[in-house]
Amino acid sequence: MSRPIPACWATCPVHTRAHGYIALIAQRKFKEALALVRRDNPLPGISGRVCHHPCEEACDRRRVDEPLSIAYLKRFIADYELKTNPKMPSHVERTREEQVAVVGSGPAGLAAAYHLITKGYGVTIFEALTVLGGMLITGIPSNRLPRNVIEYEVDRIKALGVKMRTNVTVGRDISFNDLFKEGYGAIFLAVGAYDSRKLGIPGEDEFEGFLDCLTFLQRVNLGNMSKPGEKVCIIGGGNAAIDSARTALRLGCETVTIVYRRSRREMPANPSEIEEAEAEGVKIHYLASPLRILGRNGHVVGMECIRNMLGEPDASGRRRPVPVEGTEFTVDADAIIPAISQRPDLSFLPEDHGFTITRWNTFDVDPQTLQTNKKGVFAGGDAVTGPATVIEAVAAGKKAAEMIDRYLRGLELTAGEEESRPLVKLTDEEIQAIEKKPRQRMPKLPLEKRVGNFNEVELGFSEEAAVAEAERCLRCWTLTRP
């Protein structure tokens, strides 16, 4: 039987060697720890801030007291380099003739480009916008993800030799055939999910003051600080809804309300973000659904809602919201921002594109290889999964690079699949023998200093806190099991 592996490593979609970098942090070898992260993930400062960290859910220290603060440790080593010795890597030597075109500069595209260039290929990223980073820069606000962190990590990928062509929409400004004619041997489509889902209720899109969350966040993130209104109502329960709400507050809007159809327990946004939003003054109406948008003289004036109770679980496994008759109520609002989900916007594809598209408007790929129905064209990230997470997009980019490498070498794509290995698990006796030691707390910007600016709220671990946290690791991977 193969040797068990630590759960933090196994459950990371990118298979970052968390157990290894944590051990190095405990020895104060921060540089080596960061180099270990970068073997798998070129975006440590970004993912150390916004990752939903499945590694922490799986950490066995949870059975003693609290799981290791793995994401914040990753952030610490990334910040440590940025603060003490920011350094660009040198150009990677080109060892392969072939070039690869990566479409989209979000985390999936950046990760694919990074892994392809380190394998010796020529790589060009084509980005439709004038800025690089995808949703990292147009979606996630800087109070959670400072721009200098994104710029640094993108610049490092550039420094390796990846060419980045902004303001080019593939499919419109340059066709897929042209890319192949220009000598690209393979294409990776990492175009994200930018089409906001409709609410499907009366009044939608009818009145001024109604705008979708991606338009709102992109506008603010690219520098337009105008308020959407004074009384802002947001619909949804994911990260985009919480970010929209916290952004509206920072712009100085008088009231910010979220309407979410299920209870807090089912809310998909990161629990800590929900807590922060409520602490900052966002009011959340749980168990309520919008019925109609109300308008007067062409402008939004509010929204009629109905209260729900929770019924049986639906296909997502979460309990279905069931409207309770006679519980209608109105929320006053002069701006309404739906943030209920997105799907890929594939309007850049020509009519005769020939790709197989799913009913969710995503690229239909072979899940094992990420290849589309077109030879040499691969796809990944939100464009395949629908709206998901940064770390899953990074994982897709890493996998696509491996598959493209195999494709360009003429190897079978599915060969060499990793076998799944059992996870290390401590025995109850071992867990009971461990001394309790709570995790280090993340210092935060005081509430009164958060309004009117987009300064980062989570301030990062000090060196001492990071080392102390790393020392909490149970080093479960060192245990030998029969």
Site residues (CB under 6 A) for ligand FAD? 50-52, 103-109, 126-129, 134-136, 139-140, 169-171, 190-192, 217, 239-240, 243, 270, 348, 381-383, 387-391, 393
Which residue lies nearer to ligand FAD by CB, 270 or 308? 270
Which residue lies nearer to ligand FAD by CB, 222 or 322? 222
Which residue lies nearer to ligand FAD by CB, 67 or 106? 106
Residue 121 CB, nearest distance to ligand FAD (Å)? 19
Which residue lies nearer to ligand FAD by CB, 342 or 369? 342
Residue 272 CB, nearest distance to ligand FAD (Å)? 10
Measured CA to CA, the distance from residue 201 to residue 463 in angstroms comes to: 52
Which residue lies nearer to ligand FAD by CB, 108 or 300? 108
- Residue 429 tokens read as 């006796």
Measured CA to CA, the distance from residue 448 to residue 432 in angstroms comes to: 42
Measured CA to CA, the distance from residue 21 to residue 34 in angstroms comes to: 7
The SS3 assignment for 272 reads helix
Residue 270 CB, nearest distance to ligand FAD (Å)? 6
Angle (nearest 5°) at CA 104 between 316 and 112: 85
Residues 145 and 136: beta-carbon distance below 8 Å: yes
Residue 458 CB, nearest distance to ligand FAD (Å)? 12
Question: What's the Cα-to-Cα distance from 117 to each of 135, 153, 179, 189, 336, rounded to whole Å?
Answer: 23, 15, 18, 17, 44
Residues 400 and 378: beta-carbon distance below 8 Å: yes
- Residue 179 tokens read as 């890319």
Which residues does 114 contact at the CB level (< 8 Å), separation at least 6?
Answer: 42, 157, 160, 162, 397, 401
Residue 87 CB, nearest distance to ligand FAD (Å)? 25
Residue 259 CB, nearest distance to ligand FAD (Å)? 17
Residue 85 CB, nearest distance to ligand FAD (Å)? 27
Which residue lies nearer to ligand FAD by CB, 98 or 127? 127
- In the 8-state DSSP scheme, what is residue 347? T
Measured CA to CA, the distance from residue 238 to residue 140 in angstroms comes to: 12
As separate numbers, helices (DSSP H) first and strands (DSSP E) second, the chain gives 17, 15
Which residue lies nearer to ligand FAD by CB, 139 or 302? 139
